[in-house]
Structure 1
Amino acid sequence: MNNTRIIFYSVLVLSFFNLTGCDKIFPKKAPKAGIPVKTETPALEVKGTIVAKVNNQPIILEDLEAEIESFNEEVPADRPAEKIDTKDKKITYLKNVVIRRMIMAQAASDKGLNRKPEVERALENFKQRLLAAELGRLEAEAVEVTSKEIEDYYNMAKEELKEPEERQLREIVVASEGDAKSIMIELLQGGDFATMAQSRSIMASAKKGGDLGLIKKGVKSAQFDDVAFSSSLDIGKTSNYFKTAEGYTILRLEAKRGGKTKTLTELWDDIKTGLTFLKQQQKIEELISRLSAAAKIEVIESAIK
């Protein structure tokens, strides 16, 4: 969920707990024992479209839509029917979730539960997180990434931005160096790699003529990758034998896929998104550093067990 949706949802949640005008709503004079104080919600200035009222407390369409959007983002991709995407579903959600929650929150306020110390602390912590998130959002919104920054990053990281290369390989693995040498001689004399893999290799891939399919770097060992992804191993060529944990290995490269560098145009949006995020994080860290330097901060480490 992005920061804007967090803010919308948080404001809606805060409204449930009647944070506005608490001193007026809950007088300091204690009520008589056994008699609940009925919350008289004052008329509020409403910005947005009202879709419902509960004891004069409005529910705003924009807040409802933001909450539903957040709910839909959490729905698993394989269960699209659970999304709230029609007018009827939205009305059902409003009645069965939002209104019921507001009724419960108002009843809790009537009982004075919002004045319990633990509830007040939780609300204060929630308020701090909300305000910090809002300040962070405002700082992040001011960040801009220039075309030159995008181009410079592309030119600097061009090699790292290549598509992952995959190679289709066949292998022959034997237990002894002597067997590996013997097989190399037969291959150099024109022996068929797949046939020899079936009859001589000790690996499970022998059943498929040594075919490993398309693999990427990191799937096998470092020794394997050094040979399999070597620039000197061309399609249709066979490597020399080399030692791995499985035994003495010989590889044949059948095909390559990927490994190309995408153009700046193809990567423009991705680079811009990444640079924007990095600059936003940097700006927020700089803000926190400035605020921390100006603040009086005391940490009582001995109190933490």
Structure 2
Amino acid sequence: MINIFVNDETSPLKAVILGAAKGVGRTPHFDEAYDPKSKEHITAGTYPKEADMVTEITAFETVLKKYGVKVYRPEIIVDYNQIFARDIGFAIEDKFIKPTILKDRKEEIKGIQYILDKINPQQIISVPEDARIEGGDVMPWKNHIFVGYSEQEDFDKYVVARTNKAGLDFLAKEFPSKIVKGFQLNKSDEIAKDNALHLDCCFQPIGQNQAIIYKEGFKFEEDYNYLKDYFGEENLIHISRDEMYEMNSNVFSISPKIVVVENNFTRLIAILEEKGFTVEKVPYSEISKMEGLLRCSTLPLEREK
């Protein structure tokens, strides 16, 4: 059986599902894309190629294994994008949550079914049909669960709105001992630099009490202020609109001290190293063209208690 336990974003990682680029298939047509950054690269003829993405994920897997992490991979579904494992499930405490996601992605769960079969069925919770949640919007952090979401008006308006109020309420009901704090995000189906696709595209805790944040990703300033007050302004690394677009907040923590970062994020890398982090640099710029990065392609199953 696979043990499930995740209570935060940074405790030492023991087991993770890492997405797969093999079998991703052809470049989608413009009208098949469901985020503005992918559309941008389809139009420009710069959409990432399978071989390049396989190389990038392999480099990430090598780093994870270097630190003794057990890495599970999805079974390949031909001509199907299985890179962003974060969205098709997530763990909170000792529970694995199976969310309701975009209908275009509903087959993805089949690729990890052999892993789910090794989890105690009593630890698996299925999200009800009316509640929409994607794992990129959900961040367990000690006594909190931070959740990016959209109220009904935005949820109905934007394809890039992936978590609704019913999803937020579901998490609050399932985890009554946690402070489930929702943040409305700025959305755009057309302009990638104005779109916080998920919470992890504009915010992520690192270390013991620090975070990377893009203030303008939040629809309301009071939501940003909540995080500023919680972490303390001196513990926040602010990123720019362009850095948000390049996915600078979408790093991945192997432990409170070890952070995996895309190797082109030179300003962020310098700040992290100055703060005493060990920064593992990997190439991930091709995958970033699909509006996802390192956190998006991981699904942590177990971190140390």
TM superposition score normalised by structure 1: 0.20
Relative contact order higher in (CA < 8 Å, ≥ 6 apart): 2
Q: Could you say which structure has the higher helix fraction?
A: 1
Q: Could you say which structure has the higher strand fraction?
A: 2
Instruction: Flag the structure with larger Rg.
Output: 1
